[in-house]
Amino acid sequence: MSSTSQRLPSDCTIRLPNGAFDTYSEPRALETSEIAGIVDQFRNAACNARRAGFDGIEIHAGHGYLLDQFLKDGINDRTDAYGGSIENRCRVVLEVLEAVDAEMGREGRTAIRISPVIDHLGATDSDPVALGLHLISELNKKKLAYLHMTEPRFNNKGASGLMDTADDCGIFRDAYNGVLMRSGGYTRESGMETIRSGGADLISFGRLFISNPDLPLRFAIESKLNEYDRSTFYTHEQYEGYLDYPCLSEKEVSEGWAALRRRRKSARSGRTLPGSLRLNSGASGSGSGPSCGGQRVLYNNNMLPSPSPSPRTPHTPLLAASPTLYSSYD
């Protein structure tokens, strides 16, 4: 089901259990009368999560999924109250937000992820900036935990080539009054820089987290990262590609902390060490390019396991991992 009964373009493919890629099946446009039931499903999901002890919920309204299919006019061809104008296309998202927020019972327990400037899975819009700004003006009326925005860098497409650098999301940063999380192609360094410069409050990581299950720790000690293996993305395997990347060994961790302390000490004393210690977990090679993630983890350096006294940076940006299931990101 979708906002439309039009098929996705044939270059949008899904990975099957046997590893082959196929086109998506033909969608069925939801009847107007069915939409309240969809909103209720989100409400029920929130209820189940709350009763199961979840601290909060992130509503996914991006990446070409159902809610994004309502938001974007490249897909949404409806003529009812859920199609046409930007206000109408945002309607179901705001209804879901209202329902989930009410179910969570307290302010700041609900978050939302949107990707107005991403052309993923056929979810294109003729005016993504106007769409994003309108949505944000509505989100500003709520007390959300955070707004999570995915940027074009995650697939290098972007909406009509409009935005191809993180800095271009500044327009949304300026418009949003709450906590902003940004995602897409970030490294430790670019994430820290974005937070330091005020471009975001949180950064989420996808690929880097998949290939580095101990990513927060590696970031904290500035360790080398495992490279991700693209061929194992989106598999239907339980294990391969998701749970088979190695963590640092205890020895590597303690060496990493020691090296970090040495580097910081020498930086304080104005000396430069000849190169910095690089840790290599051994199994998956090395590199610090973008990679991936399975769990949602929010942390800062104060929450990381560390020897005493723990090295602290003067400013400790929050970092987060993205949830990942299966899709077709680069």
Residues tagged active-site:
65
Nearest distance from residue 121's CB to ligand FMN, in Å? 10
> Which candidate, 37, 46, 142, places its Cα nearest to that of 94?
142
Least distance from ligand FMN to the Cβ atom of residue 315, Å: 21
Number of C-beta neighbours around residue 195 at 10 A? 19
Which residue lies nearer to ligand FMN by CB, 14 or 86? Answer: 14
Distance in angstroms (rounded) separating the CA atoms of residues 293 and 295:
6
Kindly tell me which of 42 and 234 has the beta carbon lying closer to ligand FMN: 234
Give me the least distance between CB of 155 and ligand FMN, in Å please.
8
What is the smallest separation between the CB atom of 229 and ligand FMN, expressed in angstroms? 10
Q: Which residue from 142, 195, 200 is spatially nearest to 174, judged by alpha carbons?
A: 200
Q: What is the CA radius of gyration of the chain?
A: 21
Which residue(s) pair with 203 in the sheet? 182, 319
Nearest residue to the partner ligand FMN, using Cβ: 206
In sign, the C-alpha dihedral spanning 179, 183, 188, 192 is: negative
Nearer to ligand FMN, 183 or 288 (CB): 183
CA dihedral 151, 157, 160, 163 (to 10 degrees): 40
Cβ neighbours for 6, distance < 8 A, ≥ 6 positions apart: 27, 75, 77
CA 256, chain centre distance (Å) = 28
Shortest approach of ligand FMN to residue 183 CB, angstroms? 5
Q: What CA–CA distance (Å, rounded) separates 165 from 5? A: 33
- CB of 203 or CB of 248, closer to ligand FMN: 203
Nearer to ligand FMN, 85 or 231 (CB): 231
- What's the min distance (Å) between Cβ of 314 and ligand FMN? 25
Q: Are 74 and 125 in contact (CB under 8 A)?
A: yes
Point out which residues bind ligand FMN (CB under 6 A). 60, 63, 150, 154, 183-186, 205-208, 233-234, 290, 292, 322, 324-327, 329
- In the structure encoding, which two tokens stand for residue 89, read together? 């296309």
Query: Kindly report the CA angle at 294 between 103 and 16, in degrees rounded to 5?
Result: 100
Residue 295, token pair as written in the block:
């769990």
Nearest CB to ligand FMN, comparing residues 78 and 182: 182
